[in-house]
Chain A
């Protein structure tokens, strides 16, 4: 082990801050040279980077909104009123149900089913299984996630921001790819590109790439930083978590497998960090998930149950 001086520790922290800002490739090249200069440098940097990453596992609260710095950001214009006409060039086939009132209609997917909806101007919505979305025929820049999960790829238009409703939250895209989960009273948003503004009552949080916000019932929102490449990973059959509650993981499994996955109440509030790779065979996936979650997996009716009895297997 190299000897790590105070100066090296300060320098490592400074590098970490610089790389977390708008680091250009020249910064990264300079960082490489710094690492190579002394083995103690890499050691000190590792310590800072791991300490930072481990904050994701802790339920730290966002900055309290004090008047000193948290003026709510107002949208610069009243942009959300009264444009319409843009029709949905829907690439979807199948269960599009017209609703009685207004121009809205519902899209429902069965567990395990996937669907892609192409909206105007190249925007699209990829919908996971067991989900229900409401879209508006007269307004292609709006969607409501009633239940389940969807990944939005939105071509940004300053004059007509794309808005998503999920539970009591409103999301306003500022140019973007983002994933939304609505599961009971829990709403989760993760941004992989661009920026999304999350609003609920008077609270606002701006989410930039690599950020996820999770909010349940009347609790305060919790912001985490999942690996950016993991966002929307369900499309490739990868479910990635950072300190996610087990009940959220079970809901994800149900959506993706097309089989109901229930969970012992005793395990609901446990937290999981890691990646579950979805196999075509739900049994294989459940065994895998069980091993990672340190739970047993057994069949229950048409579905599966994850149980704290470790020995339980199919």
Chain B
């Protein structure tokens, strides 16, 4: 089954490179593509229903991981320079920030109303698929998408606000 995935990967190299560049990979796109293959082949131990979609998703995650690493590095630098002289990068500081973020996220979700809040948690925290959430709440898939879109929009706005502080 790895052979099948590899064939799809090789056939779609250019497509995936284009995607990686669109996601901001720049000149390093070839390197990221290597990483995509390593992760995709390591993660695929059974048959994959839609191999190309799976490769796209892996590529998307690789770029997300890189972006997150950049964010962490920036935060760490800021934390270090703000606490010049202190030797430990104070875990408690990080935990304090996490608590504040948690409270802010809870507030934002609550402000969206019970239904959106519940649908979002069901999907994102309980990990119920969008289709199954729709069935549970007795609404259409596109209605679920609307609720989730609203929640993600609010969370992205919150993150931007917190980061600007």
The answer to whether A and B interact is yes
- Let me know if B127 and A17 touch, CB within 8 A: no
> With an 8 A cutoff between CB atoms, is B53 at the interface?
yes
The distance in angstroms between the C-alpha atoms of A223 and B98, with both chains bound, is: 17
- Let me know if B58 and A53 touch, CB within 8 A: no
The distance in angstroms between the C-alpha atoms of A52 and B23, with both chains bound, is: 16
A232 to chain B, nearest CB (A): 8
- Let me know if B102 and A59 touch, CB within 8 A: yes
> With an 8 A cutoff between CB atoms, is B27 at the interface?
no
The distance in angstroms between the C-alpha atoms of A87 and B149, with both chains bound, is: 50
- Let me know if B155 and A52 touch, CB within 8 A: yes
Name the A residues within 8 Å of B118 (CB-CB).
63-64, 66, 68-69
- A211 and B127 in contact, given A46-B24, A50-B159, A58-B101 (Cβ under 8 angstroms): yes
| CB nearest to A69 among chain B residues | B136
Identify the stretch in A7-15, A97-105, A279-287 within 8 Å (CB) of chain B at 4 or more residues. Answer: A7-15
B106 to chain A, nearest CB (A): 8
Name the A residues within 8 Å of B80 (CB-CB).
none
- Let me know if A23 and B53 touch, CB within 8 A: yes
Contact with B along A199-210 (1 / 0, CB 8 A): 000000111101
B interface, size bucket: 35 or more
> With an 8 A cutoff between CB atoms, is A32 at the interface?
yes
B28 to chain A, nearest CB (A): 15
Pick the contact of A13: B58, B88, B106, B149 (CB < 8 A): B149
A interface, size bucket: 35 or more
> With an 8 A cutoff between CB atoms, is A248 at the interface?
no
Name the B residues within 8 Å of A22 (CB-CB).
129-131
Name the A residues within 8 Å of B122 (CB-CB).
62-63, 69
Pick the contact of B155: A36, A55, A223 (CB < 8 A): A55
Pick the contact of B45: A60, A69, A70, A153 (CB < 8 A): A153
The distance in angstroms between the C-alpha atoms of A123 and B95, with both chains bound, is: 42
Contact with B along A140-180 (1 / 0, CB 8 A): 00000000000001000000000000000000000001000
- A62 and B149 in contact, given A25-B56, A51-B159, A228-B43 (Cβ under 8 angstroms): no
B55 to chain A, nearest CB (A): 8
Name the B residues within 8 Å of A28 (CB-CB).
19, 52-53, 56-57, 60
> With an 8 A cutoff between CB atoms, is B46 at the interface?
yes
- Let me know if B152 and A294 touch, CB within 8 A: no
| CB nearest to A213 among chain B residues | B127
- Let me know if B153 and A21 touch, CB within 8 A: no
- Let me know if A63 and B126 touch, CB within 8 A: yes
The distance in angstroms between the C-alpha atoms of A21 and B155, with both chains bound, is: 18
> With an 8 A cutoff between CB atoms, is B77 at the interface?
no
The distance in angstroms between the C-alpha atoms of A62 and B64, with both chains bound, is: 24
> With an 8 A cutoff between CB atoms, is A192 at the interface?
yes
Contact with A along B34-57 (1 / 0, CB 8 A): 000001101101100010110011
Q: Which 3 A-B pairs have the closest CB atoms?
A: A229-B43, A63-B121, A28-B56
18 contacts across the A-B interface (CB closer than 8 A): A13-B150, A14-B149, A21-B130, A22-B129, A32-B18, A35-B23, A42-B22, A47-B159, A49-B64, A63-B122, A69-B118, A69-B136, A71-B136, A153-B46, A177-B46, A206-B128, A227-B61, A236-B42
Given contacts A28-B53, A35-B22, A49-B67, 5 further A-B contacts (CB under 8 A): A9-B156, A17-B148, A51-B158, A69-B137, A227-B39
Interface residues of A (CB under 8 A from B): 9-10, 12-14, 16-25, 27-29, 32, 35-36, 42, 44, 46-55, 57-64, 66, 68-71, 153, 177, 192-194, 205-208, 210-211, 223, 225, 227-229, 236, 270-271, 294, 310
Interface residues of B (CB under 8 A from A): 15, 18-19, 22-24, 39-40, 42-43, 45-46, 50, 52-53, 56-58, 60-61, 64-65, 67-68, 71, 87-89, 91, 95, 98, 101-102, 105-106, 118, 121-132, 136-137, 141, 145, 148-150, 152-153, 155-160
